[in-house]
Chain A
């Protein structure tokens, strides 16, 4: 399956992947509305980490594991892997117990405290390629066939 990979040396720490992700998962799918006008801002499913004021940075996100630790830890069955291999959270079913946060070795499940639901990368089902990848000005994020790492 296609997965999102990160080229650390190309990352400039601009956080546009997060902006793209938040926008895509907003109600309006418009960045200005998503950031300034929507009542609850959605959570970015990718996490940009920085060190030394941005000298080192990279964007981390879900690996859509073959044997997902998050799915195995989920107590409500909200996390399922579909036939295409995409690991998704059904936020209706999620009870916000954070077992997936505890289990994911990639730190790729976020706590949405406003909604008390876990969020994670869904590989943008409404798009050809994920919003974070499209938003990256430096092609530090690539979306290509590959295995889980």
Chain B
């Protein structure tokens, strides 16, 4: 059996382990357009800010590829997939045959056509190790940076650049930063901390023009008419599934590559996992791209297992993010900001002075979402309650308590989780 995996990040790693859990013999080939072995992609902001060295970028134990007998092709870009002939075509011209194919190419940063952007030198995106290296490379003569987009990538880029001692403005179109994961109070708490660190956070505005002569940037003009002088721009508006090379392959691509609950695409034998895939959502069951690290691993594992003939099924993507910004830890999960709040029961606790905020979102006595800012310990208990759809009625009053734990649940649940089996002498 020949397994080919396009992409070499967390979904690919989950898939390699998934395949090897079932099939120890088959050949696994991993093709990556990057020149690095699998690395902790979210660590690029730590690398940029000098918090970690390159040595710690490696995501896997040194012997991983050898131990799992993976044939690794780095710096190789796939430009086409021929589903009928079961071949992938590389940019260099050669083709590689497969019996089972996994597409785990992740996302490509989206750069909108902003006036004045074309031809400028210092326009960056921030999703790869090389992006961090490039930014670091020009750090010496970088002074003021504008980050377009106040989502996860934008904020982490801003934090890294801030650690280099540069001045930063973040421009976000929504009414708050991290609008996808946070509600307004949580966004405000974090924005407050960022402002206290000298970062300029501008919301409900956007960059309409990049100013400067030739390749040099002198500043940006905002929709509001404001002008921010800067020499470097980081575009962090979002990512789009990196599925362009599938044109003509018969693999169905909607907002991402559409997959079923075993991560198989519309073409038999071809699977997709991670940020490139459009899998079902935990709550609604609807297909939805979910660019979440742990989810990418799980999808990869499900896909790898299925490719090797094993049985595993995806239980649906549950959004969750743990982000520490300027020493304020935050964890959010599930539905944090319901569109129809009336259908939900929402509990909150706020102490903005001390950067503390807790929010619990319930629907029909089931936990469906949580936001924790500041005190984030044991947040995972909430993710368990969400996934297991536990009726929280008996302990609803305790959910906001920072010491909330298993002791507040029923004894039955505690025994199920922690008690020994059978008789204990």
User: Which A residues are closer than 8 A to B by beta carbons?
Assistant: 5-8, 47, 49-51, 56-58, 60, 63, 67, 69-70, 72-73, 75-77, 80, 92-93, 95-107, 109-111, 139, 142, 144, 146-147, 149
Known A72-B298, A101-B331; contact A8-B381, beta-carbon cutoff 8 A = no
Q: Measured between alpha carbons, how far is A20 from B94 in the docked complex, in Å?
A: 60
Min CB gap B50→A, angstroms: 13
Min CB gap A83→B, angstroms: 10
For B14, what are the chain A residues with a Cβ–Cβ distance below 8 Å?
A: 72
Min CB gap B323→A, angstroms: 8
Q: Is B301 an interface residue (CB 8 A)?
A: yes
Mark the stretch among B97-105, B264-272, B353-361, B404-412 that contacts chain A: B404-412
Q: Is B294 an interface residue (CB 8 A)?
A: yes
* 7 pairs, CB–CB < 8 Å, chain A vs chain B: A73-B294, A75-B41, A75-B43, A101-B377, A102-B321, A102-B383, A106-B380
Q: Measured between alpha carbons, how far is A98 from B320 in the docked complex, in Å?
A: 12
Known A75-B293, A76-B59, A98-B322; contact A6-B418, beta-carbon cutoff 8 A = yes
Min CB gap A9→B, angstroms: 9
Q: Is B185 an interface residue (CB 8 A)?
A: no
A97 touches B58 (CB 8 A): no
Q: Is B247 an interface residue (CB 8 A)?
A: no
B415 touches A146 (CB 8 A): no
**A3 (CB) vs chain B CBs: closest residue:** B420
Which residues from 382 to 408 on chain B have a C-beta closer than 8 Å to any C-beta of chain A? Answer: 383-384, 387-388, 405-408
**B58 (CB) vs chain A CBs: closest residue:** A77
Chain B residue total in the interface (Cβ 8 A): 50
A110 touches B320 (CB 8 A): no
Most buried by B among A51, A77, A99: A77
Given contacts A98-B376, A107-B378, 13 further A-B contacts (CB under 8 A): A5-B419, A7-B420, A69-B294, A76-B43, A95-B52, A101-B322, A102-B320, A102-B380, A103-B383, A105-B387, A106-B381, A111-B376, A147-B421
A146 touches B420 (CB 8 A): yes
Q: Is B40 an interface residue (CB 8 A)?
A: yes
A99 touches B51 (CB 8 A): no
B415 touches A8 (CB 8 A): yes
Known A69-B294, A75-B41; contact A96-B380, beta-carbon cutoff 8 A = no
A146 touches B294 (CB 8 A): no
Q: Is B107 an interface residue (CB 8 A)?
A: no
B407 touches A76 (CB 8 A): no
In the complex, which of the residues B380, B407, B417 contacts A103, with contact meaning CB atoms closer than 8 Å? B380
For A7, what are the chain B residues with a Cβ–Cβ distance below 8 Å?
A: 419-420, 424
A67 touches B301 (CB 8 A): yes
Known A96-B324, A106-B417; contact A51-B381, beta-carbon cutoff 8 A = no
Min CB gap A5→B, angstroms: 4
Min CB gap A72→B, angstroms: 4
Known A73-B294, A96-B324, A101-B378; contact A107-B405, beta-carbon cutoff 8 A = yes
**B384 (CB) vs chain A CBs: closest residue:** A105
- Of all A-B residue pairs in the complex, the 10 with the closest CB atoms, nearest first, are A105-B384, A107-B378, A5-B420, A104-B380, A49-B407, A77-B59, A73-B294, A72-B297, A102-B322, A75-B42
